[in-house]
Structure 1
Amino acid sequence: MRRVRGSIHPRLALAPLVAVLTALGVAGPPAPAAAAAGAPAVRAAQRAASPGVLSEQRRLADRRFVATGDRAYEVGAEDGSYPATGWHIRGEMGGFWSPPIKLLDGLWFAVDGQWLSATRFISGPGFVRTELAGPGGTRIGRTDVMPDGARAALVGLTLGGPARRVTLDVDAHSELLSAYPWGWTTPSQETVNLPDTGGFDGRNLVFRETATGARPHEYAAVVGSALTPDGHALGPGHRGPQEPAVVCPVADPAPPRCDDGPYGRGAGGRLTYTLDVPRTGRTVWFAVAGSDQGVAAATGESRRVLRSPARAVARKLAARAEVAARTRVDLPGDPLLERSVAWSKQNLADSVQEAHGLKVFASREGTQFPPPAGTVDVARWVGAGWPDYPWIFATDAEYTAFASVAAGQFEPIKAHLRTLRAISEIVNGGSGKVVHEVTPDGQVYFGANDDPGNTDESAKFPSTVALIWRWTGDDAFRDEMYDFAVRAMRHVTGLDADADGWPEGLGNVERAGMGAEKLDVAVYTIRGLRDLAELAASRGDRAIAGWANAQAERRERAFERTWWYGGDAAAYADSLSDPGDGKVFQRHWTGLTPMEAELPGGPLAAPAHARAGLAQRERDCYTGEFGLFHTGSGPTSAPAGNPGPSCDSVVSTVPAERATFSLNTAVMAVAEGNYGRLGPQRRYTTGNARIQLDPAVWEMPGAMPEVAPSPDFVANIERDFLSRSSVLQAWGAYGVLWPVVRQQLGVDPDLGRGRLSVVPALPPGRQRIAGHDIRLGRGSLDVTATRSGRTLTVSVRAALRAGLMLGAVLPAGATVAAVRLDGRPVASRQRTTARGSEVLVAAGSGGRHTLAVVLG
């Protein structure tokens, strides 16, 4: 495997669970009881190859990190500091959180009076690690792990030899506040956030924020270890080396680096310990625990994780080893993409969140604060991005779903749809409209019935249900979601004031100057109707199936003549203006959605238009070093003019926006793959892989960010901590996992109807690609595709019962001389698809099979 410059820590690459634990120095092999408790997971972990760990030593103070569990997470800088971070609640989006509340601004350690700062940061599957410089050149390690299922963080401080006695000081500064309100909403955190109080219970620092009145609450955070400290102190500061704190102003300009947000009203405390460190070293574990249900609940969480930290760490690493074990790929011609698949699976697992007792209300874009309309007892979701978007989005998850199923992470994305449905039903009264954005306390910022737009989420909901149903064969999930999916499409098709078939409302581009009808909404409406028709037919609902197919067919017939802009634009219109469906062309990334959206019969765009449109988007007016721009450059009437090259003569009314979002690049990669353009596709899969894995580009090693360095977007580490994009964003995984699993390996399950098609397409110049333990329903699939001379070979092991269709995409212009299945001549058929000419053979119901296609 080719390494990206010095990024893999040599001692920990491809290490099984026990080796990781031992190499970290935080524990030896798990105790027998711990091993027995997690024996199946431990065995799975030891069998599986991990993605290794990645390390960074440069500019650690300028780089953010994220450590997550499903009930708690932490955001800080890689040098061990906690700068004021984020913009939703200005300066307060970092630190320690347990949704729906923030707990601490940060946690700092000093040994013998010297505050510790990191010299190396290490990112691993399920943990982060910093190597710290101690007094006299001693080495100290800090390991941060968020145990899943716990509203707590574990922080292990490992002091190496020689034998000695040391004084350890631990500073913590609280900031108990809720995920909503934000800094500019009505009300804002300026009035809602109350002063914290600090205390000491004999072992732990205890912080509280208590409110009475219309919205009573008792927030609590507890910081301590299983050891009893020698002493403690309380006060307004206690931020370690970040004292005295630089407070961010409410508005820019701001200092290059702040320590607290303008709404901060936290309290501080210090714990002091005397530790005897043996020659072999010693690890001391600390817990940061919290609850929005009071001190007793927070204390209980702390005790639970401190009861056996080694067991909690072992379980976390074992769970991440299970993630690594699924959908393992072997891409000899593209080792960077292979590694990106491994890390993207971990990024998805990092993004799973859960909160309880969501009191749902619509804030009307932050302008109202009404009483709750209802409660969701348990919400589980795939968070969008850290630190400013870790909550519930429909748009993000509906793209991320493709990566989730390809990675075999079915449960989180199912839970996300359940959460969306539950919140939408409460706030929208059964209309079928899907909410857009929800914080983990139940605030619906946008997406209520009387909010304008956000039509695309509702159109994509039935497609996401159908996607999950095809990959899992879970009829119960289909049935659970079916009624809401029907109402979602009824809602979308009803948003058509001029009765032209194209719903009004916002799509994924929220920019000025667009017409009322958006291209991506039109595309996803057609796909949603076709997918709903399949769901309906599988349930025997002929009426809905007929209605949905008729609605889709009407729109498909009119699609190309209505939306293709033509001329040297070589693109679809971004939107239509009313009256008269005037075509508006602005070069937004959503112009790719006709090529990206795969209907049951293939992608929507006509092949000739798709080829022209994709070739145009590959040019430098649309594509930069790391992928696709949000809005391409060209002639424009916008006051600033055109900052880049021109690929067409159309005069747009909007400026270029040459910011490369990982989602834009993902959509381009998928669109290329839908039309068999696997050579150009590599430019875009590589773009997303590099911002995740190239040390010259990454902010946090292994984490795919929201936006890549671009002509119009300065790299995150060059920006202040208040205005950066997400350091980890889930949706970019769509552009890595789906192109490899669905398009290159050709895995196309339809398990809801008992069928599985495996038709690989070898990228140009590749002789072999393979995938192992690809999760499908309750089984799995191994697939290997090779080319040797004139023979294409596809070998599978399908550990599930499904009607199996094997095939291969033929090289352009190739003919077939012979086809053999398991060594015997077999009848085959050929079909022409958007991917190219495919040869297909029925191979029974699962099992091991080898297809050989001899080319003429």
Structure 2
Amino acid sequence: MNKFLVSIICTLLLFSCTDEKGKSTFSLNEELKNTVNIKGQKDNGNYLYVTAGNMLYSIGDHYGGFPEIGFHVPGEMGGVWQHPIKLLDGFKLSVNNSDLGECTQFIAYPFANQFEYLQNQEISVIRTDFVPDSLPVLVVEYLIQNNTSDVKKIDLSLRVDSDLSPVWLGERSGMIDSRDTLLGIKENNAIIVKDSLNEWYAGISSETDSLIIASSEDSRLKGKGISIRLNIPAQDLKAKEKKIVRFYMSGSMKNTTEIDQNLKIAKENIKNLFADKKQRYADIDRRAEITIPDTLLMQAYRWGKYNTDWLVRDVPGMGQGLNAGLPDYPWFFSNDQSSAFSALVGTVEPCLFYNSWDMLLRISNEYNNNSGRIVHEVSTNGQVYDKGRMEESQEFINTAWTVFKWTGNKDFLKTYYDHGKKVWQFLQEHDTDNNLYVEGYGGVEIEGLNDEMLDVAYHTQTFLQTMAEMALVFGESDLSKEYSEKAEILKKKINEDWWNESENRYFDFISNKSKALQLIDMALEKRVSDNRNKWAKEKLTDLKIKIKNGEYNEKGYSVYYNPSTGVLTSDVADKEKAVKYLESVPFFTNKYGLYISGIARPDDITLEEGSVAHRLTGEFNYHEAIMGGATSGLAIAECKYRGADYAMPYIEKILNNFSFATPGTTYEVSPDYGMFVQAWNVSGINIPLIQYIFGVNPMAYKKEITIKPDMPSKWDYAKLERLLVGNNELSIDFKKSENKRIYVIENSQKDWVVNFKLAENVNSAMVNGKEVKADNGTISLTRAKNTIEF
């Protein structure tokens, strides 16, 4: 270690909670009072949180520390990131030569996080972290309080651990990490650290008074950073007095001037920056606001909006998109965003959809030579890890159609309709036997499953139907008919070729017997054991014997028992088959949801109804995973085929995960493994609530909305307010009174038509006080505000 002392004194913020006249000044802690929050649980200190902005975020644990976490860049996915570089491993305050240690209470706010230290001690500390919108600055405020009746001298120091280093795949773009160096005091009294061989900088500053850089040494943490000790001259705290120490941290891939400008903006405008973000989150609350009897579901829906905002990332030189999850997927996936966007329509401003799809299309065309193929995963330095699986290009186009239905943006649709034609050419090149079953790896990331996969088949079917709809919008009726005919053929084939009658599910894949035997052996070796899932061993052994004896005559095979829900949610499944599957699938669920590979289901289904993080050790994997994404599919499928009352038990399983570990989130793997915030998890709440329970199905470019509500039988009221549909905001207010159902439906724009679908066996309704007969179960509402009773 190269340890040295320097005695540089700079004018930085220290104590600024009260001025000389005793007038109170701005405090993050004070401003957060009366803001909705969720407190961390007592024994959950090792779980993670994020303090997020669209240009910078910080990840640590509930104890207030910064553990070395993550597997993409091993041990480096926490700390402070300003993509595509990491700035800091973390920081820690010491009071009177003693580290604060673990906080006694963690509190998650929608747009900030708070840590309480040394409660009930003579000197207590409250730390509040905040990141403004569109400004890459982390604001860290320490409120120091003297709880005694005596004057107390306090001596503070802050240790900052730099780690200027590149994002995952950085080496592919020439981003090679080197040792950090301390440059000292630069503009705006900021302490600057630089990567010695790259133009990567990190800056730490504050507001007034003096701060001494006491020492610097090579960091003992992973990477090539340095640890800097910043000493604060001793101060007296009067009896019961509170004072504030506030720091600002930022970075740059250009120069120190950029850091200086950003820190200056933050320091001079912290009050307004906080107020602006607080107001924006109030707007998030009001947009597509839901009021229902199930308060836990209502809370999870609300925090799902916040989770989504935490994952919106603006990266210089790339653009804007939605990260898949944190801490290990802070970049862009096409399939994750497809799933999330299909659930977010109506609840977020559509520019997020437009910007993300524009970025993915541009990068895909570059890496895939304009072939139509859409990339799977791209890091924030623009490097593509996976050029695209065989279902993702279809998903990309299908999601563009969903976005169009909700926004009415024909220019947007035209871009992706034209690209859809390229996708179809690409898919045909990978259908070597011309049977409409595209070959290759789908979304089931299991070794060897690269023949004809179920998810590729149903996404292709939906894609063809989507292209038929798009073609009609642009007046290409002959081409629409061609796509539609192929879609119908493929739908029929899937229900004939892929249905496993003996198991009441759809097969995982279609292949030859030799390949099937190979996959069965692999599953028996790697996924089955007598002391865990003996049922699976018996099933696969029996299947293997039948194949070898020539007794098995089906085209497809159920080996991993992957979910069949996608066939249902995509409208491909016959209703009879869908109901049979839904009746059988509870075998593969526990209190937290659905196993993504049913083969992992233990003989005792209650065996794993607890923490996964505490149970699993070693390399990260999904082998025994229950995932919110899979459980979401079941909730949506039940809404579609049997109704909301059947869906509610699966929604309740999702809710069993909510705040289990990190307040306000559901994990990627239920209940507490993998990403602590995951983009697509909103689908299990948003889609059932908005698109089935409230029953909203728009066609915005026609200024038409179909509403087919399906309220859970236990609900006597429900309200959805200010749902975004095109240039319109839709509100629905439901009340049940004795045997009557009353809906008040309001559009903010006068020129929209609502086609209201009545319940089965209801032929008429009172509309605005007058009886109106339904036309094939539908009543058209043309006023801006309508009341309908039946």
Give the match for residue 718 of structure 2: 769
**Mapped partners of 2:314, 2:211: distance in 1:** 36
State yes or no: 1:748 paired with 2:736: no
Determine the structure 2 residue equivalent to 1:824. 770
Per-residue deviation, 1:531: 1.5
- In structure 2, how many angstroms separate the alpha carbons of the residues matched to 1:590 and 1:494? 27
Which residue does the alignment assign to 1:852? 789
Using the TM superposition, give the Cα deviation of residue 388 of structure 1 relative to its aligned residue in structure 2, in angstroms: 0.4
Q: Which amino acid aligns with 1:78?
A: H
2:403 is aligned to 468
Q: Which letter does structure 1 place at the counterpart of 2:756?
A: L
How many Å separate the matches in 2 of 1:843 and 1:633? 49
Name the CA shift for 1:768/1:380 in 2 (closer, same or farther; >3 Å).
same
Name the CA distance, whole Å, in 2 between partners of 1:535 and 1:283. 58
Asked if 1:265 corresponds to 2:211, the answer is no
For residues 353-376 of structure 1, what are the alpha-carbon distances to aligned partners after superposition, in whole Å with 9 as ceiling and x for unaligned? 01112xxxxxxxxxxxxxxxxxxx
Is the CA contact (8 Å cut-off) linking 2:169 and 2:379 kept in structure 1? Answer: no
How many Å apart are 1:690 and its aligned residue? 2.6
Q: Is residue 760–residue 785 contact of structure 1 (8 Å, CA) maintained in 2?
A: no
Of the three residues 195, 201, 207, the one matched with 1:209 is 195
Q: Note closer, same or farther for the CA distance 1:145–1:660 as it changes in structure 2 (3 Å cut).
A: same
Match of 2:331 in 1: 391
Q: Deviations over 1:131-161 (max 9, x none)?
A: 1227943332111111121122111122235
Residue 809 of structure 1, CA deviation = 3.4
1:490 aligns with 2:451: no
Q: CA RMSD in A?
A: 2.8
Distance, in Å, in 1 between the alignment partners of 2:387 and 2:392 is 9
Match of 2:96 among 99, 104, 112: 112
Question: For residue 612 of structure 2, what is the aligned residue in structure 1?
Answer: none
Is the aligned partner of 1:614 residue 2:582? yes
2:15 alignment counterpart: none
> Which residue of 797, 800, 803 maps to 2:753?
803
Question: 2:656 maps to what in 1?
Answer: 690
Deviation at 1:590, TM superposition (A): 3.8
Where in structure 2 are the equivalents of 1:307-706 lying within 5 Å?
A: 307-332=268-293, 334-357=294-317, 378-447=318-387, 454-514=389-449, 516-567=451-502, 569-578=503-512, 582-597=555-570, 603-619=571-587, 622-633=588-599, 643=603, 657-693=623-659, 698-706=660-668
C-alpha deviation, 1:669, in angstroms: 1.1
In structure 2, list runs of 5 or more residues that go unmatched.
1-23, 514-552, 607-620
1:361 alignment partner in structure 2: none
**Counterparts in 2 of 1:745 and 1:23: CA distance versus 1, 3 Å:** farther
Q: Distance in 2 between matches of 1:391 and 1:809?
A: 44
Task: Name the counterpart of 2:65.
Answer: 81
TM superposition shift of 1:551? 2.4
Deviation of 1:643 after TM superposition, in Å, equals 4.6
What is the DSSP-based 3-state SS (H/G/I as helix, E as strand, rest coil) of the residue aligned with 1:62?
coil
Query: Percent identity at matched positions?
Result: 23
Sort the Cα spacing of 1:23 and 1:574 in 2 relative to 1 into closer, same or farther, 3 A: farther
Give the drift of 1:288.
Answer: 1.2
Q: Distance in 1 between matches of 2:127 and 2:789?
A: 53
Change (3 A) 1:543 1:285: farther
Aligned partner letter, 2:178: L
State the Cα distance separating 1:785 from its structure 2 match: 2.5
Secondary structure in 2 aligned to 1:809?
A: coil
Q: CA deviation at 1:504?
A: 1.1
Shift in CA distance, 102/355, structure 1 to aligned 2, threshold 3 Å:
same
Alpha-carbon separation, structure 1, partners of 2:173 and 2:352: 33
Q: 1:230 to 1:337 in 2, by over 3 A?
A: closer
Aligned counterparts of 2:316 and 2:41: Cα–Cα separation in 1: 38
Q: Give the 3 Å change call, closer, same or farther, for CA 513–585 of structure 1 in structure 2.
A: farther
Larger Rg: 2
Secondary structure of 2:438 counterpart = coil
Deviates more, 1:381-390 or 1:553-562: 553-562
The answer to whether the Cα contact below 8 Å between 2:160 and 2:227 also exists between their aligned partners in 1 is yes
| Aligned-residue offset at 1:413 | 2.5
Preserved contact between residue 289 and residue 720 of structure 2 (Cα < 8 Å): yes
Residues 308-342 of structure 1 show CA distances to partners (whole Å, capped at 9, x for unaligned) of 2222211122111111111111221x221111111
- Alignment match, 1:40: none
Q: Is the 8 A contact 2:723 2:729 kept in 1?
A: yes
Q: Normalized against structure 1, the TM-score is what? A: 0.78
**For 1:670-716, what per-residue CA distance to the aligned partner results, in whole angstroms no more than 9, with x for missing partners?**
111111332231122122223123xxxx221002211114xxxxx44
Amino acid at match of 2:379: T
**Shift of the alpha carbon at 1:106?**
0.2
Provide the residue aligned with 1:126 in structure 2: 111
Letter in 1 for 2:668: E
1:589·1:664 contact (CA, 8 Å) conserved in 2? no
Which of 31, 51, 54 is equivalent to 1:67? 51
Task: Name 1:249's counterpart in structure 2.
Answer: none
How far is the alpha carbon of 1:419 from its aligned partner? 1.3
Aligned 8 A contact 1:380 1:416 in 2: yes
The aligned runs of 1:195-206 (5 Å cut-off) are 195-201=179-185, 203-206=189-192
Q: Quick one: structure 1 residues 585 and 286, their matched pair in 2 at CA, closer, same or farther if it must change by over 3 Å?
A: same
1:225 corresponding residue in structure 2:
206
User: In structure 1, the residue corresponding to 2:456 is in which secondary structure?
Assistant: helix
CA distance in 1, matches of 2:228, 2:372: 49
SS of residue paired to 2:742: strand
Distance 1:617 1:656, change over 3 A: farther
Matches of 1:656 and 1:315, distance apart in 2:
40
Structure 1 runs not aligned, ≥5 long: 1-21, 31-45, 212-216, 239-244, 246-259, 358-377, 449-453, 598-602, 636-641, 647-654, 710-714, 717-724, 831-838
For 1:749 and 1:726, locate their aligned partners in 2 and report how far apart those are by CA, in whole Å. Answer: 33
Displacement of 1:578: 4.6
Q: Which one-letter code corresponds to 1:87 in the other structure?
A: F
How many residues of Structure 1 are paired with residues of Structure 2 in the alignment?
705
**Residues 639-687 of structure 1, C-alpha deviation per residue, up to 9 Å, x if partnerless?**
xxx75579xxxxxxxx995421111111111111111332231122122
Residue 155 of structure 1 pairs with residue 121 of structure 2: no
2:71 alignment partner, SS class? coil
Q: 1:515 to 1:289 in 2, by over 3 A?
A: closer
Instruction: Give the AA of the match of 1:267.
Output: I
Equivalent position of 1:146 in the other structure: 131
Asked whether the 8 Å contact 2:405–2:700 carries over to 1, the reply is: yes
Q: Tell me what 1:298 maps to.
A: 259
8 Å Cα contact 2:755/2:781 also seen in 1: yes
- Listed as ranges, the matches of 1:717-756 within 5 Å are 725-756=674-705
Could you tell me which residue of structure 2 aligns to residue 177 of structure 1? 165
Structure-2 change in CA distance of 1:756 and 1:826 (3 Å): same
Structure 2 residue identity aligned to 1:570: N
Matches within 5 A, 1:21-100: 25-26=27-28, 52-100=36-84
1:552 and 1:57 map into 2 onto residues whose CA distance is 50
Residue 282 of structure 1 aligns to a residue whose secondary structure is strand
Q: CA deviation at 1:165?
A: 5.1
Deviation at 1:625, TM superposition (A): 0.9
Paired AA for residue 26 in structure 1:
L
Q: Separation in 1 of the partners of 2:634 and 2:143?
A: 45
Question: Letter of the aligned partner of 2:661 in structure 1?
Answer: E
Query: In the aligned structure 2, how far is the partner of 1:143 from the partner of 1:399?
Result: 33
Aligned to 1:103: 87
1:708–1:306 distance in 2 versus 1, CA, 3 Å: same
Contact 1:172 1:268 in 2 (8 A): yes
Q: Which amino acid aligns with 1:223?
A: I
Using the TM superposition, give the Cα deviation of residue 27 of structure 1 relative to its aligned residue in structure 2, in angstroms: 6.4
Alpha-carbon offset, residue 443 of structure 1: 0.9
Q: CA deviation at 1:481?
A: 3.1
Whether 1:787 and 2:733 are equivalent positions in the alignment is no
> Any conservation in 2 of the 1:109–1:169 contact (CA below 8 Å)?
yes
Distance 1:752 1:782 in 2: 19
- SS at the partner of 1:147? coil
Letter in 1 for 2:323: G
Relative to the length of structure 2, the TM-score reads 0.84
